[in-house]
A and B are shown apart, each in its own frame.
Chain A
C-alpha cells in the first residue's frame, strides 16, 4: 500500500541555518504530495503542496519539489527562524482521491 517515510527527528538548528527534512513515498500512479506543520498544542496546518511531477510547492519561505524519479518531496528553507519550531508532516493522497497517508512527523527545534 501507499506509504510515506520521513527523516527521524528531532532536528535542532540555529537561527538562520539551512533546513532540509527528507520525505520519500511509495505509491502507485501519481499521488498529490503535501507538507503540514503543527505548532505546539495546535492542529495541523497545510504548509504547501504539489500535485504533479516537477511541481514546486512554496509558502512562508519553505519549498518542496515533487521528484517522481526519486519518489521524494524534501522540505527546504534557506534560513530558519525560532518561530519555525514545530512538527512537520509529509503526506500523500493517491490519484484516486481519498485518504491522506501521513509520515511519522519530524520535530524541528530552532535555537536563537
Chain B
C-alpha cells in the first residue's frame, strides 16, 4: 500500500535560519507531489507542485523553494526564514490517472521565532 511520510513533525527555527522539510512517498511510482501551507486562518495555500523529477512549478512568489531530487522525494527549503513563514506545512501526492483525491502527510508545524 502507498504511504506518505513527512518530517519533522514540529520545528522551531530562528529568523534568518535555513529550512529543509522532507516528504517521501512509498508504494507508488511517478506520483504528482504537492506542498501546501496552512496559516492561522485554516485555508490551504498551494506552494509548489511537481509532476516529475526535477520539475517544479511554483504557485506563489515567496521566500521558499522546492526540489524533487528523486521520483518519490519532495523537499521544501528556504535559505533564510521569515516570521511570516510560520505555519503548518502539508505534503500530498496523487496519481494523474484515476479520479482520486490527494493523500496528505501528517504535516510539519513550523514556528519561526
Contacts and interface: CB of A to CB of B under 8 A. Distances in A.
Interface of A: 32, 34, 36, 41-46, 49, 51, 87, 89, 91, 93, 97-100, 102, 104-105, 107
Nearest to B49: A99
Interface string B63-75: 0000000000000
A73 B40 CA distance: 25
Contacts of A105: 42-44
B104 A43 contact: yes
A43 B43 contact: no
B101 A100 contact: yes
B46 interface: yes
Given A89-B44, A91-B101, 9 more contacts: A34-B101, A44-B90, A46-B102, A97-B97, A99-B49, A100-B101, A102-B44, A104-B41, A105-B44
A107 B90 contact: no
B103 interface: yes
B106 A43 contact: yes
A34 B49 CA distance: 19
Given A44-B90, A99-B49, A51 B42 contact: no
Interface of B: 6, 34, 41-44, 46, 49, 90, 92, 94, 96-97, 99-107, 109
A49 B101 contact: yes
Q: Which of A36, A51, A97, A107 has the most CB of B within 10 A?
A: A97
Given A89-B44, A102-B44, A97 B96 contact: yes
A25 to B, nearest CB: 14
A51 B106 contact: no
Contact of B99 (A44, A45, A51): A51
24 contacts: A32-B99, A32-B101, A36-B104, A41-B107, A41-B109, A42-B107, A43-B107, A44-B44, A44-B90, A44-B92, A45-B104, A46-B101, A46-B102, A46-B103, A49-B100, A51-B99, A89-B44, A93-B101, A97-B97, A99-B34, A99-B46, A102-B43, A104-B42, A104-B43
